[in-house]
C-alpha cells in the first residue's frame, strides 16, 4: 500500500466553526468541517448513491428515544447528503440510521494555521 501523503487542504481561518469547505485533492472531492473548533474530513461522495454528501445541510437531529417524543441535539455534528438526505455523523462518518453504512473519513492534522489531510 502506498504511504499516506500529507496535503494542505486550506487555512484554518477559511473554515470557521459550524462551516464546511469542499476541497479538491488529487482528483478527490473532500469536505472539511469545523465542528466546535475540531476539524473533520469526509469524502464528498455518499455511500448511498454517490451524491455530493458534504454539500448538504449541516445541523442537528432528533436523538434516539424510547418515547413518542422528539428530543433534538448533536447540533452541528450531522451532515445530510445533498441528494437524498441520508444523515451522517461528521465526526465518525457513520450513517445515523444504519451503522453498517459509513462515509469515508480522512485523518486531519492542524499545522501552522493550515488544515492538513492524510491520504
Binding site for other proteins (CB under 8 A): 48, 61-71, 84-87, 95-98, 101
Residue 67 or 112 with smaller CB distance to other proteins: 67
What residues contact 89, with CB distance under 8 A and at least 6 apart?
74, 77, 78, 96
Q: What does the alpha-carbon distance between residue 114 and residue 119 come to, in Å, rounded to a whole number? A: 16
Q: What does the alpha-carbon distance between residue 85 and residue 118 come to, in Å, rounded to a whole number? A: 27
Residue 5 or 84 with smaller CB distance to other proteins: 84
Residue 25 or 101 with smaller CB distance to other proteins: 101
SS3 at position 44: coil
Q: How far is the CB of 55 from other proteins (least distance, A)?
A: 16
Q: How far is the CB of 89 from other proteins (least distance, A)?
A: 12
Q: How far is the CB of 60 from other proteins (least distance, A)?
A: 9
Q: How far is the CB of 100 from other proteins (least distance, A)?
A: 9
The region, left, alpha or beta by phi > 0 then psi within -120 to 50, assigned to residue 85 is: left
Amino acid at each position: 500500500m502506498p504511504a499516506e501523503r500529507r496535503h494542505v487542504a486550506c487555512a484554518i481561518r477559511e473554515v470557521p466553526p459550524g462551516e464546511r469547505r469542499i476541497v479538491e485533492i488529487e482528483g478527490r472531492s473532500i469536505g472539511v468541517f469545523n465542528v466546535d473548533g475540531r476539524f473533520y474530513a469526509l469524502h464528498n461522495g455518499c455511500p448511498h448513491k454517490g451524491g455530493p454528501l458534504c454539500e448538504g445541510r449541516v445541523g442537528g437531529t432528533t436523538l434516539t428515544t424510547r418515547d413518542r417524543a422528539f428530543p433534538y441535539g448533536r447540533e452541528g455534528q450531522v451532515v445530510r447528503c445533498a441528494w437524498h438526505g441520508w444523515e451522517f455523523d461528521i465526526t465518525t462518518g457513520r450513517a445515523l440510521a444504519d451503522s453498517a453504512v459509513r462515509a469515508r473519513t480522512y485523518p486531519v492534522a492542524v499545522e501552522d494555521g493550515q488544515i492538513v489531510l492524510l491520504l
